[in-house]
Amino acid sequence: MRHLSRRGPVFIANKLDMHASTVGRVLRRHRAPLLRELDPVTGTVIRSARRSARRYEHDYPGSLIHVDVKKLGRIPDGGGWRAHGRSEKVRGRGAGYDYIHAAIDDHSRLAYLEVHPDEKGTTCAGFLDRATRFYRGLGVTVERVITDNAFAYRKKRCVPGNRCCA
Protein backbone atom coordinates (compact mmCIF):
# COMPACT_ATOMS: atom_id res chain seq x y z
CA MET A 1 0.00 0.00 0.00
CA ARG A 2 1.22 3.48 -0.87
CA HIS A 3 2.27 5.84 1.88
CA LEU A 4 -0.35 8.57 2.31
CA SER A 5 0.86 12.08 2.97
CA ARG A 6 0.09 13.40 6.44
CA ARG A 7 -0.77 16.87 5.12
CA GLY A 8 -2.47 16.48 1.76
CA PRO A 9 -6.10 16.49 0.63
CA VAL A 10 -6.30 12.67 0.61
CA PHE A 11 -5.23 12.41 4.26
CA ILE A 12 -7.53 15.25 5.32
CA ALA A 13 -10.44 13.75 3.33
CA ASN A 14 -9.99 10.39 5.04
CA LYS A 15 -10.07 12.02 8.47
CA LEU A 16 -13.18 14.08 7.63
CA ASP A 17 -14.94 11.32 5.68
CA MET A 18 -15.15 13.52 2.57
CA HIS A 19 -14.01 13.25 -1.04
CA ALA A 20 -10.41 14.31 -1.69
CA SER A 21 -11.55 16.47 -4.63
CA THR A 22 -13.83 18.47 -2.31
CA VAL A 23 -11.01 19.03 0.16
CA GLY A 24 -8.69 20.02 -2.70
CA ARG A 25 -11.25 22.53 -3.97
CA VAL A 26 -11.59 24.10 -0.51
CA LEU A 27 -7.81 24.32 -0.12
CA ARG A 28 -7.55 25.96 -3.56
CA ARG A 29 -10.32 28.44 -2.70
CA HIS A 30 -8.36 29.49 0.40
CA ARG A 31 -5.18 29.70 -1.69
CA ALA A 32 -3.34 27.07 0.33
CA PRO A 33 -0.07 26.20 -1.45
CA LEU A 34 0.41 22.75 -2.97
CA LEU A 35 2.58 20.26 -1.07
CA ARG A 36 5.25 20.36 -3.79
CA GLU A 37 5.64 24.11 -3.13
CA LEU A 38 6.40 23.56 0.59
CA ASP A 39 9.48 22.52 2.52
CA PRO A 40 8.65 19.04 3.92
CA VAL A 41 10.23 19.75 7.31
CA THR A 42 9.25 23.34 8.10
CA GLY A 43 6.18 23.79 5.89
CA THR A 44 7.41 27.14 4.55
CA VAL A 45 6.83 28.02 0.90
CA ILE A 46 10.00 27.30 -1.07
CA ARG A 47 8.63 27.47 -4.62
CA SER A 48 6.43 30.25 -5.90
CA ALA A 49 3.27 29.32 -7.74
CA ARG A 50 3.03 30.11 -11.45
CA ARG A 51 -0.38 31.65 -11.24
CA SER A 52 -0.96 35.11 -9.87
CA ALA A 53 -2.45 35.43 -6.41
CA ARG A 54 -5.53 37.37 -7.50
CA ARG A 55 -7.20 38.41 -10.73
CA TYR A 56 -7.37 42.17 -11.07
CA GLU A 57 -10.74 43.77 -11.63
CA HIS A 58 -11.62 47.41 -12.07
CA ASP A 59 -13.90 48.96 -9.47
CA TYR A 60 -16.89 49.91 -11.61
CA PRO A 61 -18.38 49.25 -15.08
CA GLY A 62 -16.84 51.24 -17.91
CA SER A 63 -13.55 51.79 -16.12
CA LEU A 64 -11.80 49.52 -18.64
CA ILE A 65 -13.05 47.78 -21.79
CA HIS A 66 -11.03 44.97 -23.42
CA VAL A 67 -11.24 44.93 -27.23
CA ASP A 68 -10.06 42.04 -29.36
CA VAL A 69 -10.51 40.48 -32.80
CA LYS A 70 -10.65 36.74 -33.48
CA LYS A 71 -10.12 35.46 -37.03
CA LEU A 72 -12.18 32.36 -37.87
CA GLY A 73 -12.30 30.39 -41.12
CA ARG A 74 -15.67 30.42 -42.86
CA ILE A 75 -17.57 27.16 -43.23
CA PRO A 76 -18.99 26.74 -46.75
CA ASP A 77 -22.72 26.32 -47.30
CA GLY A 78 -23.77 22.74 -46.73
CA GLY A 79 -21.08 22.03 -44.14
CA GLY A 80 -17.36 21.55 -43.91
CA TRP A 81 -14.97 18.69 -44.55
CA ARG A 82 -16.68 16.33 -42.10
CA ALA A 83 -19.83 16.46 -44.21
CA HIS A 84 -18.20 16.45 -47.67
CA GLY A 85 -14.71 14.99 -47.26
CA ARG A 86 -11.33 16.62 -47.83
CA SER A 87 -11.04 16.36 -51.64
CA GLU A 88 -10.19 19.53 -53.57
CA LYS A 89 -13.19 19.04 -55.86
CA VAL A 90 -15.62 19.22 -52.95
CA ARG A 91 -13.66 21.56 -50.76
CA GLY A 92 -12.79 24.37 -53.11
CA ARG A 93 -10.68 27.34 -52.10
CA GLY A 94 -11.30 30.88 -51.01
CA ALA A 95 -14.06 30.49 -48.46
CA GLY A 96 -12.23 33.24 -46.56
CA TYR A 97 -12.46 34.36 -42.97
CA ASP A 98 -14.84 36.10 -40.61
CA TYR A 99 -13.53 38.42 -37.92
CA ILE A 100 -15.25 38.44 -34.53
CA HIS A 101 -14.83 41.87 -32.92
CA ALA A 102 -15.39 41.73 -29.15
CA ALA A 103 -15.58 44.39 -26.42
CA ILE A 104 -15.77 43.12 -22.82
CA ASP A 105 -16.26 45.26 -19.73
CA ASP A 106 -13.60 44.41 -17.15
CA HIS A 107 -15.84 44.82 -14.10
CA SER A 108 -19.14 43.24 -15.15
CA ARG A 109 -17.79 40.95 -17.94
CA LEU A 110 -20.64 42.15 -20.15
CA ALA A 111 -19.64 41.55 -23.78
CA TYR A 112 -20.58 43.21 -27.06
CA LEU A 113 -19.73 41.26 -30.25
CA GLU A 114 -20.01 41.79 -33.99
CA VAL A 115 -18.98 39.65 -36.98
CA HIS A 116 -17.29 41.45 -39.89
CA PRO A 117 -15.52 40.40 -43.11
CA ASP A 118 -12.30 42.26 -42.20
CA GLU A 119 -10.35 44.01 -39.47
CA LYS A 120 -9.54 47.24 -41.31
CA GLY A 121 -9.32 50.59 -39.58
CA THR A 122 -12.76 51.81 -40.68
CA THR A 123 -14.38 48.57 -39.51
CA CYS A 124 -12.63 48.77 -36.13
CA ALA A 125 -13.53 52.44 -35.68
CA GLY A 126 -17.18 51.72 -36.47
CA PHE A 127 -17.23 48.74 -34.11
CA LEU A 128 -15.69 50.76 -31.29
CA ASP A 129 -18.24 53.53 -31.83
CA ARG A 130 -21.16 51.06 -31.74
CA ALA A 131 -19.71 49.29 -28.69
CA THR A 132 -19.43 52.53 -26.71
CA ARG A 133 -23.01 53.43 -27.72
CA PHE A 134 -24.15 49.97 -26.56
CA TYR A 135 -22.56 50.47 -23.14
CA ARG A 136 -23.82 54.06 -22.96
CA GLY A 137 -27.37 52.75 -23.59
CA LEU A 138 -26.96 50.69 -20.42
CA GLY A 139 -25.79 53.71 -18.43
CA VAL A 140 -22.09 52.79 -18.59
CA THR A 141 -19.54 55.43 -19.60
CA VAL A 142 -16.44 53.93 -21.21
CA GLU A 143 -13.29 55.55 -19.79
CA ARG A 144 -10.45 53.37 -21.12
CA VAL A 145 -10.00 50.79 -23.84
CA ILE A 146 -7.26 48.16 -23.96
CA THR A 147 -6.37 45.67 -26.68
CA ASP A 148 -3.62 43.12 -27.06
CA ASN A 149 -3.07 42.38 -30.71
CA ALA A 150 -5.60 43.92 -33.10
CA PHE A 151 -3.40 46.04 -35.36
CA ALA A 152 -6.15 48.42 -36.43
CA TYR A 153 -6.98 49.25 -32.81
CA ARG A 154 -3.32 49.92 -31.94
CA LYS A 155 -1.98 51.80 -34.96
CA LYS A 156 -3.22 54.95 -36.58
CA ARG A 157 -3.09 54.45 -40.34
CA CYS A 158 -2.73 57.57 -42.42
CA VAL A 159 -4.75 57.66 -45.62
CA PRO A 160 -3.85 60.30 -48.22
CA GLY A 161 -6.31 63.16 -47.99
CA ASN A 162 -6.92 62.80 -44.24
CA ARG A 163 -5.78 65.51 -41.83
CA CYS A 164 -3.34 63.13 -40.06
CA CYS A 165 -1.18 62.86 -43.20
CA ALA A 166 -0.69 66.60 -43.60
Euclidean distance between CA atoms 120 and 126, whole angstroms: 10
Beta bridge partners of 9: none
Total domains, the chain: 2
What was the pLDDT predicted at 9? 86
Whether residue 34 is contained in a domain is answered as yes
Torsion of Cα atoms, 112 then 113 then 114 then 117, to 10°: 140
Is 92 inside any structural domain? yes
Confidence (pLDDT) at 58: 80
With respect to residue 101, please indicate whether it lies within any of the assigned structural domains.
Answer: yes
- pLDDT for res 1: 42
Q: Let me know whether 42 and 72 are in one domain.
A: no
What pLDDT is attached to residue 156? 54
Residues 41 and 70 in one domain: no
Amino acid at 112: Y
Coil vs helix vs strand at 50: coil
- Supply the range of the domain harboring residue 81: 65-157
Same domain, 31 and 99: no
The span from the CA of 79 to the CA of 105, in Å, is 34
45 assigned to some structural domain: yes
Handedness of CA 98, 104, 109, 113 (dihedral sign): negative
Radius of gyration of the chain (CA): 25
Q: Are residues 78 and 32 in the same domain?
A: no
Q: What is the pLDDT of residue 53?
A: 54
- What pTM does this model have? 0.57
pLDDT tens digits for the chain (166 residues)? 455 456 688 888 888 999 999 988 988 888 888 877 888 778 788 876 556 555 667 888 999 999 999 998 877 676 766 666 666 655 555 578 899 999 999 988 999 999 999 888 888 889 999 999 999 999 999 999 888 765 676 665 544 454 444 3
The answer to whether residues 92 and 125 belong to one domain is yes
**Backbone φ and ψ of 102, nearest 5°:** -130, 140
Using a CB cutoff of 8 Å and minimum separation of 24, what contacts does 132-136 make? 134/103, 135/61, 135/62, 135/65, 135/103, 135/105, 135/110
The pLDDT of residue 90 is: 55
The pLDDT value recorded for residue 162 is 46
- Asked whether residue 98 is assigned to any structural domain, the reply reads yes
